[in-house]
Amino acid sequence: MTPDKPTTIKEIAKILKISVSTVSRALNDHSSIGLTTKMRVKKLAAELNYEPNQKAIQFLHGKSFVIGVILPELSESFFSAAISGIEDIAYKRNYTVLLAQSHDDAEKEKLLVAKMRTQRVDGLLVSVSKTTSTFEHFEIFKKLNIPVVFFDRIPPIKDIHYVSSNLETGTFDAVNFLLKKGHRTIGMINGPATLVASHERKEGYIKAMIANRLKFDPSLLIGCDLSEESTIEAMDTLLNHRRKPTAIVTFNDYVALFAMRYAKSLGLQDIDFVSYANLPIINYMDYTPIASVEQFPYKQGKKAADILIDLINKPRNESGAEQAYFNVVVESELILAGHK
């Protein structure tokens, strides 16, 4: 019979014949309201199923309690795990999450950034698209003093907050693990040289070799564009190397899959593979890497969201002067197969 508009504070005031301000204060347990009045107000509010109109409140103090999240692809398990972390923190701290995928399209990303601004989000969490090469679209947020935190895929510009994983230590551990296992010739199928991620892997590899007093042979590191063809090419190079590797570290699980399948098709069963954990599906495979480097996307998401919300609630940059930038690196970690 009365399925219409939500109850407002005004109606409560009218029914109880008191002023709106009294109702407001009563509901917020203000000290200057008498106990009896408080009770009466609360009782009626409960009966009428009163819920404060968040839109009005948000409008009033110019806060939306919404954080925007822009990431490339939810179907990549790294990101779907990350968003879970972001969400958990956001809900815990009473924020909600406005989500959007760029699908690795720079133009779409720009549009989404604009939309987020229009929606007046309190802060923005971004993992930039692969194709993004300019970054002016984020400037507006800086101008408006709305915090932006980048995670995982961070743009190569200064003065930004970010959370990323350092794959160097994980790679170090991986190579070290293989060396301890007796391997002496370890190949690596790395990603494109343009990615920071490739660089970090390379550094980890080199440092592990040095730490074990072994010579670093650059010809055992082959780059690839992550496609199957490119992976097979890299495998050919490695398998025809004068020092044929007995173990191979691959850029990610897809590359590992391609490489292992190719090796198997050649009848090679004795190569140990180590990869980077992006896919839970790896658990279901016939042949799996013997170890993988975990990047903790859930943890990264949590951390990034925490930093963002901290920034939102930070007293506005007082002197307008230099601001501290959060640069958090989540260490990666080697996980042996069969261990959760």
Partner DNA sequence: CAGCTATGAACAAACGTTTGCGTTACTTTT
Partner DNA sequence: AAAAGTAACGCAAACGTTTGTTCATAGCTG
Stretch that binds DNA, among 6-14, 233-241, 245-253, 261-269 (CB under 7 A): 6-14
Residues recorded for the chain: 340
Question: Does the protein bind DNA through residue 9 (CB under 7 A)?
Answer: yes
Q: Does 143 bind DNA (CB under 7 A)?
A: no
- Tell the smallest beta-carbon distance from residue 110 to a second copy (Å): 13
Residue for token pair 């408080």: 38
CB of 54 to a second copy, least distance (A): 5
Number of residues that bind DNA (CB under 7 A): 29
313 makes contact with DNA (CB under 7 A): no
- Residue 208, H or E segment: helix 196-211
C-beta atoms surrounding 58 within 10 Å? 15
Beta strands in 31-86 (DSSP E): 66-71
With CB under 5 to 8 Å by kind, the binding choice for 281 among a second copy, DNA, none is a second copy
Query: CB of 93: closest distance to a second copy in angstroms?
Result: 13
**Distance of alpha carbon 310 from alpha carbon 322, whole angstroms:** 17
Q: Which residues lie across from 133 on neighbouring strands?
A: none
Which of DNA, a second copy, none binds 22 (CB below 5-8 Å, type-dependent)? DNA
Q: One-letter amino acid identity for 159?
A: D
Using an 8 Å Cβ cutoff, are 156 and 328 in contact? no
Site for DNA in 44-63 (CB under 7 A): 50, 52-53, 56-57, 59-62
192 contacts which partner out of a second copy, DNA, none, CB within 5 to 8 A by kind? none
Closer residue to DNA in complex, CB, 33/309: 33
Structural contact between residues 83 and 127, judged by C-beta atoms closer than 8 angstroms: no
Q: How far is CA 216 from the centre of its chain?
A: 33
Instruction: Find where tokens 């709106």 sit.
Output: 20
Tokens 């199928």: give the residue: 189
Question: What does the alpha-carbon distance between residue 12 and residue 322 come to, in Å, rounded to a whole number?
Answer: 48
| Binding site residues, a second copy, CB under 8 A | 3-4, 6, 49, 51-56, 58-59, 62, 64, 66, 74-75, 77, 80-81, 83-84, 87, 91, 96-101, 103, 115, 117-120, 140, 142-145, 254, 257-258, 261, 264, 279-281, 284-286, 320
CB of 81 to DNA, least distance (A): 36
